[in-house]
Amino acid sequence: MKVAVVGATGLVGSKMLQVLAERNFPVTELIPVASERSIGKEVEFKGIKYKVVGYADAIAAKPAVAIFSAGGGTSLELAPQFAEAGITVIDNSSAWRMDPTKKLVVPEVNADVLTAADKIIANPNCSTIQMVVVLKPLHDKYKIKRVVVSTYQSVTGTGVKAVEQLMNERKGIRGEMAYKYPIDLNAIPQIDVFLANGYTKEEMKMSNETVKIIGDENIKVTATTVRIPVMGGHSESVNIEFENDFDLDEVRDLLSKSPGIVVQDDIANFVYPMPLTAHEKDETFVGRIRRDETQANTLNCWIVSDNLRKGAATNAVQIAEYLLEKGLL
């Protein structure tokens, strides 16, 4: 199967190549794609070097699927051109997520909405993905009314420039700034731009995308998203109010049997999810599972996942795997 990776030289694009290789996706021909300044560069996939090509050459090569991680503007312009050529696009940007004509997919949650007619499929926001993986089985069992989430997000979510800023600061080197403020020894309560309602774009993504993915407009989500000086994954403190009451042992059992989730909830032995231990793993980890003692039918938990993997590359590859398994490619 011919597979194109658009944005192959970027942080997420490189991770997509790694995940495709690790999961043994049946790539017979890889087409790494990037902007004009990267054409001719080489990327490695399964020990073989491939030359980066431009967008027109990639479309002409007619891959079965193109996984995009090239920014919203590029996706808005180019995804329709790939789709018109009969290529299925799985897009990691925010460009198509809230388009009512496009599916927004987390395979463990709603892959069954996909059909062969879906030529542009949206990959959700990283912080939304890991949260809905945990919310969906709980919603099915207890019916969620409201979610209050605070995130603690890795600098890798911003990109290479942010990683370099953090590393430079740790070494005492003055360099290019990805953020308005220093990130080392700091927490920045702003991810993306502020909107008229005082929330950031990232916070509203979590609210709007959760409703679309789970498919229930009655779920209310309010978020505060924060950038912290860590690598390896995003962490989330999540407070969930249900219509129906729950048993904590039943919650743990339900989550442990749900696809893509690993329960790490043994406080007697100090076992709980952390970015350090979620790094380079595809699962979503959940722990600190406890009842909110201030309000009825309400649960607190802590969710961690590698934002470059399940939050981006792995989720996109899992969509491609589902399409292949169901004969939709």
- For every one of its 329 residues, what pLDDT tens digit does the chain have, with 9 covering 90 and above? 999 999 999 889 999 999 999 999 999 999 999 998 899 999 999 999 999 999 999 999 999 999 999 989 999 999 999 999 999 999 999 999 999 999 999 999 999 999 999 999 999 999 999 999 999 999 999 999 999 999 999 999 999 999 999 999 999 999 999 999 999 999 999 999 999 999 999 999 999 999 999 999 999 999 999 999 999 999 999 999 999 999 999 999 999 999 999 999 999 999 999 999 999 999 999 999 999 999 999 999 999 999 999 999 999 999 999 999 999 99
Whether 211 and 110 map to the same domain: the answer is no
pLDDT at 157: 95
Whether 244 and 301 map to the same domain: the answer is yes
Angle (CA) 10-11-17 rounded to 5° is 85
Instruction: Please give the Cα distance from 265 to 302 (Å, whole number).
Output: 10
pLDDT at 303: 99
Instruction: Please give the Cα distance from 88 to 100 (Å, whole number).
Output: 18
Torsion angle, alpha carbons of 25, 28, 33, 37, to 10: 120
CATH number at residue 68: 3.40.50.720
Whether 178 and 56 map to the same domain: the answer is no
pLDDT at 129: 98
pLDDT at 313: 97
Whether 138 and 267 map to the same domain: the answer is yes
Active site residue 126: yes
CATH number at residue 297: 3.30.360.10
pLDDT at 240: 99
Instruction: Please give the Cα distance from 210 to 22 (Å, whole number).
Output: 29
pLDDT at 182: 98
Whether 54 and 189 map to the same domain: the answer is no
Whether 97 and 246 map to the same domain: the answer is no
Catalytic residue among 126, 139, 279, 301: 126
Count up the domains in the chain and report the number. Answer: 2
Whether 146 and 120 map to the same domain: the answer is no
- Domain of residue 88, residue span: 2-124+312-325
Catalytic residue among 139, 234, 279, 301: 234
Active site residue 301: no
| Helix, strand, coil percentages in the chain from 3-state DSSP, rounded to 5 | 35, 25, 40
pLDDT at 15: 96
Instruction: Please give the Cα distance from 234 to 278 (Å, whole number).
Output: 9
Whether 12 and 98 map to the same domain: the answer is yes
